[in-house]
Structure 1
Amino acid sequence: MRCAVFTATPRGTKTALRVRASLDASVDIFVKAGQDMPVDARVYERLAPQVETAFRQYDALVFIMATGIAVRMIAGSLKSKLEDPAVLVLDEKAQHVVSLLSGHIGGANELTRELAASLGADPVITTATDVQKKIAVDVVAARLALRPSPKVQIKRFNSAALADEPIRYVIDANLARASFYKKRLDDMGLTAVFAEDLSGGQETLTAFLTSEEGAAQENIIYLVPRRLVAGIGCRRGTAAAEIRAALEAALTKIGRSLADVSLLASTKAKADEAGLLALAKELRREIRFYPHEKMQETIDAYGLDESPFVKENIGIGNVAEAAALGSVSAGRLALAKTRFEKVTVALVWQK
């Protein structure tokens, strides 16, 4: 996850440093011009244009300022609960952490709880299902990296959960890693069954975990796995076994395995890299190599950090993140670029 933290005062900046230390994420701090700058902080003159850009680039935005300011800053950028980043608000003393936007799919509620626990603050969460301690269908989708469809069904299913109406979870028996999803649902206290199809029993609201959404039906919401893209950079001559080991280690960090990877991606400068080509063949996965122009467009669009050393050697300053994010129309970093001995890996969920 990439997180942007905005602060406007010296006291807020001190709290921003605590936020960065508390999160297991890639955190950029944006500080208003004219103040002392902490290490690696970014400066802004006007908040509105900086937030507008960050709204497209980051997975989560944290405002250490008044809630009203945050609301005005994000109002013009809102699109959809399936696309908007998580937005949180803190007071300067970090007494309260408010989940403001994208509480479920965007992960704002869980991030609020995590941050509040780390800072010793009170989490402020107002979504009805969370208040009533019910598991919303879009929370299930977010935790399992699934895409709920059609979107209009989310409200209906969550209203049913609040009313204690029965909702059954059915897993397509042919879905890749069906047993993994069954275990995760069991861990959430949700009973799930396997089925080849949804024939019969459709009078009950049904969340169907399947590889492809079917025709819209009154009582069904489809939960479809999102694509997971692995962006990979490596030193010249790195063996496939070493690349695979690094990729497996990266996937372990997010609780996933090679079976979850939909696509491999890298720079065109590595298009003849024997280890990468051999790994793609071994895993039976497509691998895409992008030209520098495409990679730079992605770096600029997401505001990705560039390594001067890498840029000097291959002509582009970010390989793993840029390749992975450039492979999807809109992506969320599941794992920021992570360096191993000879390999760098970034993992991206397609939004």
Structure 2
Amino acid sequence: MRYAVFTSSANGLILADKIRNNMSAVVDIYCHENMPPREDVQSYSRLSTLLKDIFNKYSGLIFIMATGIVVRTIAPLLESKLTDPAVVVMDEKGQNIISLLSGHVGGANDLTLKLARKLGGNPVITTATDINYLVAPDVVASKLGLYPVSKEGIQVLNSALLRGETVEYFVDEETPCSRSYITKLRKNGIAAHLYSKAELERVIKTTKGYKAIITKHSLPADESVLYLKPRKLVAGIGCRKGTSSVLIMKALTSACGAIGWGPERVDELASSVVKANEQGLLSVGKKLNKQVSFCENDALEKQIEAYGLQESSFVKQTIGVGNVSEAAAYCCVAHGVLALPKTKYEKVAVALVWEK
């Protein structure tokens, strides 16, 4: 994951450092230009101007300032609960940590709880299902890399849960990793059924009750059904010349394991056009039956600039661009969220990006 922290005071900067030092994620810190400059902190003059450029480039935005300032600043940028990033607000002592926006799909509630544990603060969460200890389907979607369809269906099913009704979960057996979804649901205390597409169509038409269905297909619309569609997951891969398929597969397996999946969950592999003839990489793509996309340097450079990606001077001298794994993964989605930052293995670097 990749987060941004915003502050404008000395105490806020101390807290921002604490957040960065205690999070197992990439954390960029932005501080108002009235503070003394630091090499590891990016400065801004107007928060509203900064956010126009970076609002959707992070998994979550953490503001160390008054809630009113944040509300007024982000209001013009909001689009949908399905696409807006998680937004968390806290005071400069970290006493009260507020889940402000995208609590479920964006993961702001989970981020708030995590920050509260790290900082010893009080988590402030107001979503009805959470305070009633109910597992909402859109929270399940967020945890499992799924996209809820439709937005209206989220409210219908969550309201049903609050009335004490039950939501049944089904998994389409034709959806990749279908049995893994069953296992993950059960680990979250949710019983699920594995059905064929035809069986699901019959269930939708002939049975009553509320249903959450994990499927890659477009099935009949029904107000009592929420579809959970798998998000695209791209693995960006950089490797040394001549790296074997064994080492690449080992690195990819470890990287996917770090986010709770196997390499079969990946939808596409991506790298630099310089690696287009790497037999090890091509072999892994063939073994997994996944497309391998090779990106031109100018396309990689655009992603590096757009997402503010860190560059390696050695890699830049070698192939002409300083970031391959993260930039290549971002090239393959319309808009991406970093699932795993560039992670180095033996002769291989892997980054994972979810399509938002």
Please report the TM-score for the alignment, with normalisation by the length of structure 1.
0.97
Letter in 2 for 1:59: S
For residues 82 and 259 of structure 1, the distance between their equivalents in structure 2, rounded to whole angstroms, comes to 25
**Which residue identity is paired with 2:9?**
T
TM superposition shift of 1:194? 1.9
Distance, in Å, in 2 between the alignment partners of 1:237 and 1:186 is 42
Q: How do 1:1-351 residues align onto structure 2 when only pairs under 5 Å count?
A: 1-38=1-38, 40-196=40-196, 197-198=199-200, 199-200=202-203, 201-351=206-356
Q: Contact (CA 8 Å) 1:88, 1:99: kept in 2 or not?
A: yes
Secondary structure of the structure 1 residue equivalent to 2:55 = helix
Residues 18-62 of structure 1 deviation map (CA, whole Å, 9 limit, x = unaligned): 111121110000111132345511111221111222202111100
How far, CA to CA, are the matches of 2:133 and 2:210 in structure 1? 19
Deviates more, 1:41-50 or 1:96-105: 41-50
CA contact (8 A) 2:170 2:195 kept: yes
One-letter amino acid of the counterpart of residue 74, structure 1: I
Conserved 8 A contact 1:32-1:43: yes
- Give the Cα–Cα distance (whole angstroms) in 2 for the partners of residues 122 and 56 of structure 1: 27
Amino acid in structure 2 at the alignment position of 1:226: R
Q: Indicate the SS of the match to 2:223.
A: coil
Q: Note the aligned Cα RMSD (angstroms).
A: 1.3
* C-alpha contact 1:96 1:124 (8 A) present in aligned 2: yes
Aligned-partner Cα distance in 1 for 2:331–2:248: 21
Q: Which moved more, 1:81-90 or 1:208-217?
A: 208-217
- Kindly provide the CA deviation profile for residues 259-299 of structure 1, in whole angstroms up to 9, marking residues without a partner as x: 10110001111111121112111221110001111111222
In 2 relative to 1, CA 218–202 (structure 1 residues): closer, same or farther, beyond 3 Å?
A: farther
* Paired residues of 2:57 and 2:336 also in contact (CA < 8 A): no
Q: Distance in 2 between the 1:37 and 1:98 partners?
A: 28
Q: SS at the partner of 1:232?
A: strand
Tell me how far 1:176 sits from its aligned partner: 2.6
Structure 2's unaligned 5+ residue stretches are none
Amino acid in the other structure paired with 1:228: L
Aligned-pair CA distance for 1:177 = 2.3
Residue 10 of structure 1 contacts residue 36 of structure 1 at CA under 8 Å; is this kept in 2? no
- SS of the residue corresponding to residue 57 of structure 1 reads coil
Are the counterparts in 2 of residues 5 and 62 from structure 1 also a CA contact under 8 Å?
Answer: yes
CA distance in 2, matches of 1:129, 1:259: 33
1:12: how far off?
A: 0.5
C-alpha spacing 1:238/1:139, structure 2 compared with 1 (3 Å)? same
- Between stretches 192-201 and 222-231, larger displacement belongs to 192-201
Deviations 1:308-346 (A, max 9, x none): 221121111111111101101111111011112311100
Identity %: 46
Q: Which amino acid aligns with 2:321?
A: I
Is the 2:156–2:223 Cα contact (8 Å) retained in structure 1? no
More displaced 10-residue stretch of structure 1: 5-14 or 67-76: 67-76
Q: TM-score, normalised by structure 2?
A: 0.95
How far apart are the structure 1 equivalents of 2:185 and 2:49?
Answer: 41
d(CA) in 2 for partners of 1:148, 1:118: 30
Runs of 4+ in 1 over 2 A off after TM superposition: 36-39, 173-179
